[in-house]
Chain A
Amino acid sequence: MMVWTPDQPLVRLADVHKTFGGNEVLKGVSMDVMKGEVVCIIGPSGSGKSTLLRCVNALVPIEKGSILVEGQEVNDPRLDKLALRRKVGMVFQQYNLFPHKTALENVMMAPVHVLKRDRKEVEAQALALIAKVRLQGKEHAYPGELSGGQQQRIAIARSLAMNPDVMLFDEVTAALDPETVKGVLVTIRELAEDGMTCMIVTHEMGFAREVAHQIYFTDGGILVEHAPPKQFFASPRDPRTRQFLDQIL
């Protein structure tokens, strides 16, 4: 058996196909994400961006192709999904915090009950994470008492508490009020600067340009092209990319 080493891609997608009710959402997607790399995936709605992310942590099963996370095959009926998800954190558009738990309890729940770590130690880490997303003083607030942006930052802290090797961000600012977007983006940027491997689906072009190492453009279930941000925005090769950028920039 192949042993994964950090010089190999942390996430490798090869010819991934996914169909929803006769509608092919992913038509053979391949990409490599190295450790510490930040990739942004952009493209029009319905181009399969969110599905692509959900395949990586097996929230969505794929029909064909291969997804390797640290050398572990995701498209395998014997896959230990829980083991995979310990390595892959995910943040959602709608935050999905647990509304009956405080911010601190949201962050602590999985490490205590899934990883069976010591509660005291987890609490110290959780408090540090909440401070890291700049929400000191909100530890005992319930999600309903927080703004969208604050909830989203707690959701990021909740994922980070599992010490994942890669973080997936699925349009995490799309549901936010404009004035709270920046705080969330700053948090993600700091995370990227700390060397966290990130796969980010976003519509924030300025943010993508600033934070990404690679930008992938998807359209109609395929990856049209990818390039480092400067090159991507300055001289897109494919007409579809150009058309998309013309529409939004």
Chain B
Amino acid sequence: MIANRTDLPVLKPFRVGAAEPWRVNAWHGAALVVALALAVGIGEAQAQSSGQPGIIATILKWTPLLAQGFALNIAMSFLAMAIGTVIGVPLGLAQVSLLLPVRTSSWFVTQFFRNSPWLVLLFYCMLLLPFEVNIGGTIVPLPGWLKSTIGLSLPVMANVSELVRGAVRSIPFGQWEAAESVAMSRWQTLRMVILPQCIKRMTPPWMNLYAILTVATPLTSVVGVSEAMTLTGDILSAEARTELLVPMYLYLLLWFFLYCYPIARATVALENASR
């Protein structure tokens, strides 16, 4: 006879649907919009009662200036990404070199810049780079925004270098052997077999890095570059109204969000597509 009761410790039966992970859904967004509208509405009402221009009107008034600042953020992000990639790719390839000195020195450079705080690198670039350089007899000025772009491109370079190293290492060894066995040189193998396969693998993390870089560009406000963050501060001190503080920074946040969120979505889409 089989007993249906036991005093042995047994697990409770598995329940389907237990512990659903928490997810953001449309309702959360709606609630956020309502809360925002409420806050702005209260501000508007207060402004009207005190006879000052409303918050929305004030924000709109400063929007062209803010847009100029934001354009500088984007320009800096483009340039830093370009410089970082152009130097980072060879640096990453140097990390998989067969020559030990090349490999170790590029590894050291990569690790140094990858593990330094971005803001510290920015300060160093501002302090150490001259305000102008002499290239073949012509004096090229180095304005602050350019110096800090160079500063931002250093960690980008190091991260791209790691991306390249990781991607090259992730290609199955059989690809190298197959290329070697048809008498391709190491450089030919890298250029025609390995790197083309790496590009596909590297694109999503590279886009991700770009989004991170873009939201890091306001760091340059600390070293005095007139980008969107600095200008927001200037606007707030010109208006000298405390109730503007939260909406104004929120507005700035929105600009960055609207720019970076599609990049994040595209990254996810690309990752899914290549799966």
The reply to whether A114 and B188 contact each other, CB–CB distance below 8 Å, is yes
Bound-state Cα–Cα, A120 to B190, Å: 25
Q: Which of B182, B196, B197 is A85 in contact with, Cβ under 8 Å?
A: B182
**B23-31, B106-114, B170-178, B230-238: which lies at the A interface?**
B170-178
Q: A113-B188, A114-B188 are in contact. Are A96 and B177 (CB under 8 A)?
A: yes
In the bound complex, do residue B183 and residue A100 qualify as a contact, i.e. CB atoms below 8 Å apart? no
Q: Taking CB as reference atom, which chain A residue is nearest B185?
A: A82
Contact call A159/B181, Cβ cutoff below 8 A: yes
B222 interface residue, CB < 8 Å from A?
no
* B74 in the interface (beta carbon within 8 A): no
Given contacts A100-B196, A100-B197, A113-B188, is CB(A85)–CB(B174) below 8 Å?
no
Contacts of B193 in A (CB 8 A): 98
DSSP class of A's interface residues: helix, strand, loop or mixed? mixed
Among B179-219, those with CB < 8 Å from A are: 179-185, 188, 192-193, 196-197, 200
Known A99-B197, A109-B192, A113-B188; contact A85-B183, beta-carbon cutoff 8 A? yes
A98–B184 Cα gap in the complex (Å)?
A: 13
Mark contacts of A79-106 with chain B using CB atoms, 8 A cut-off: 1 yes-contact digit, 0 otherwise: 0011101101110101011111000000
B177-A113 in contact (CB<8A): no
A110 to B192 alpha-carbon distance, docked (Å): 10
Is there an interface contact between B196 and A158, defined as CB atoms closer than 8 Å? no
Partner of A162, one of B174, B177, B182, B188: B182
Main secondary structure of the interface of B (DSSP, over half): helix
- Do residues B180 and A114 form an inter-chain contact, with CB atoms below 8 A? no
- Tell whether A197 is near chain B: CB-to-CB under 8 Å: no
- Which residue, B180, B181, B184, B192, has most C-beta atoms of chain A within 10 A? B181
Q: What residue of chain A has the Cβ atom nearest to residue B177's Cβ?
A: A59
Given contacts A109-B192, A113-B188, A114-B188, contact A96 B182 (CB under 8 A): no
Measured in the bound complex, the distance between the Cα atoms of B178 and A226 in whole Å is 29
The reply to whether the CB of A66 lies closer than 8 angstroms to some CB of chain B is no
* A7–B274 CA distance with the chains assembled, in angstroms: 53
- Seed contacts A82-B185, A162-B182, A162-B183; 16 additional CB < 8 Å A-B pairs: A59-B177, A85-B183, A88-B181, A89-B182, A90-B181, A92-B174, A92-B181, A94-B172, A94-B174, A96-B174, A96-B175, A96-B177, A96-B178, A98-B178, A100-B196, A114-B188
Q: What would 25 A/B residue contacts be, using CB atoms closer than 8 Å?
A: A59-B177, A82-B184, A82-B185, A83-B183, A85-B182, A86-B183, A89-B181, A92-B177, A92-B178, A92-B181, A96-B172, A96-B177, A99-B197, A100-B197, A100-B200, A109-B182, A110-B182, A113-B184, A114-B182, A114-B185, A114-B188, A158-B182, A159-B182, A162-B182, A162-B183
